């Protein structure tokens, strides 16, 4: 099988967008990175499947400076497979469109970065923290600068962010798919474990799951964490004691549910750990369904987790398309776009029918 650009990126330990820049001969790539990519190309005998396309006809961002900004997030969250896939999808699409991509990371959103201070940006794609008082507590000069730019929010828009288009997962559909899947396999009493109750994305998935499960005749028990457990910069759910506390509450229920829904795979990994400590087998003693389809995170779990693929890389690509549209339609109303999710079946949900 012929090697792909993703194979080259994996071997060289760089993003697909970086490989694309090397292949196009762009000048802003370090020599050390070029060397790594070229060695990977040689080792894999990689060749481009298509001839380069007409530059001016198919590069709508040519000669435009586009910021790719991480706002209010700890590095651990940015490294989650779903978030990283969204960022890589956006970066690759920006490079394919000919944009000059300028990266910036503001974990505390407490300053104006150089890329905005120069006032040379044409637009910006932002992956922002979706929990906490990000916008209210951010540097005022920073927010004013961002409001003045065509913006696409990647993987959701934070609370109180009243500007910019949004491209994210269809969280209502995520909740519906998970609820209907569990009910279809005979589960009539279901628990929801949500350590981040006021997280925009996870909260929407939780609410949609609750509503759809009840509409399909299921009894739902909701176990929520505390908002005070989470501060900026926002981190992933890697503190196992938070999931442990929710699972303890699950175990203490007099009429224990047969299945659990969690709104993200990082939480599901904590549930697997909690089950193993109590000698419970996922898929037998308790069923579990999750969301995001972060296979790099889930590869070591057994049995395989049933999860909802939100198609994060495609979301990143669509965010770039939306920004390109916004640059040509600056005065049009704000737009929210979502990508339709799909179920990836594992063996973590027992059939009780």
Q: Which superfamily, per CATH, for 55-169+314-339?
A: Response regulator (3.40.50.2300)
Domains 1-52 and 171-310 share a fold: no
Write down the CATH number for the domain with range 1-52: 1.10.260.40
Give the 3-state secondary structure of residue 324.
helix
Scanning 64-189, the segments in alpha helix (DSSP H) are 75-78, 81-96, 114-117, 134-137, 140-147, 171-184
Give tens-digit pLDDT for 242-256. Answer: 899 999 999 999 999
Domain 171-310 part of CATH 3.40.50.2300: yes
Judge whether residue 52 has pLDDT over 50. no
Rounded (5°) CA angle 204-325-330: 95
Give tens-digit pLDDT for 178-233. Answer: 999 999 999 999 999 998 888 889 999 999 999 999 999 999 999 998 776 556 77
Instruction: State pTM to two decimals.
Output: 0.81
Q: How many helices (H) and strands (E) does the chain have?
A: 15, 12
What order do you get walking across the sheet with 165-169 strand by strand? 100-106, 65-71, 123-128, 151-154, 165-169, 336-339
Judge whether residue 27 has pLDDT over 70. no
Give the 3-state secondary structure of residue 339.
strand
Q: Enumerate the β-bridge partners of residue 289.
A: 261, 306
Rounded (5°) CA angle 33-37-38: 115
Q: Who contacts 176 (Cβ-Cβ below 8 Å, separation ≥6)? A: 208, 209, 212
Give the 3-state secondary structure of residue 153.
strand
- Domain extent listing, the chain: 1-52, 55-169+314-339, 171-310
């Amino acid at each position: 099988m012929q090697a792909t650009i993703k194979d080259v990126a994996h071997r060289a330990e760089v993003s697909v967008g970086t490989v694309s820049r090397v292949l196009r001969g762009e000048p802003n790539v370090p020599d050390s990175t070029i060397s790594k990519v070229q060695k990977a190309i040689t080792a894999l005998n990689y060749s481009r499947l298509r001839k380069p396309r007409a530059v001016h006809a198919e590069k709508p961002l040519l000669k435009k400076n586009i910021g790719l900004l991480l706002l209010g997030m700890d590095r651990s969250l940015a490294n989650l497979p779903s978030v990283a896939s969204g960022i890589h999808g956006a970066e690759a699409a920006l490079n394919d469109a000919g944009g000059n991509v300028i990266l910036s990371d503001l974990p505390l959103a407490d300053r104006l970065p150089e890329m905005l201070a120069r006032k040379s940006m044409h637009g910006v794609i932002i992956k922002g923290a979706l929990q906490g008082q990000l916008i209210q507590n951010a540097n005022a000069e920073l927010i004013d600068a961002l409001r003045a730019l065509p913006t696409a929010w990647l993987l959701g828009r934070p609370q109180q962010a009243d500007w910019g288009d949004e491209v994210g997962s269809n969280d209502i559909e995520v909740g519906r798919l998970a609820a209907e899947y569990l009910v279809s396999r005979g589960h009539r009493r279901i628990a929801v474990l949500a350590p981040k109750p006021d997280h925009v994305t996870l909260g929407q998935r939780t609410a949609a799951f609750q509503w759809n499960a009840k509409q399909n005749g299921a009894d739902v028990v909701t176990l929520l964490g505390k908002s005070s457990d989470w501060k900026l910069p926002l981190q992933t759910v890697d503190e196992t004691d938070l999931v442990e506390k929710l699972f303890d509450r699950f175990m203490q229920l007099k009429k224990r549910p047969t299945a659990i829904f969690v709104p993200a795979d990082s939480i599901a990994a904590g549930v697997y750990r909690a089950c193993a400590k109590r000698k419970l087998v996922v898929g037998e003693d308790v069923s579990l369904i999750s969301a995001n389809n972060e296979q790099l995170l889930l590869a070591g779990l057994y049995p395989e987790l049933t999860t909802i693929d939100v198609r994060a890389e495609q979301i990143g690509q669509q965010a770039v398309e939306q920004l390109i549209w916004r640059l040509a339609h600056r005065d049009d109303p704000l737009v929210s776009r979502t990508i339709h999710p799909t179920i990836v079946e594992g063996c973590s949900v027992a059939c009780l029918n």
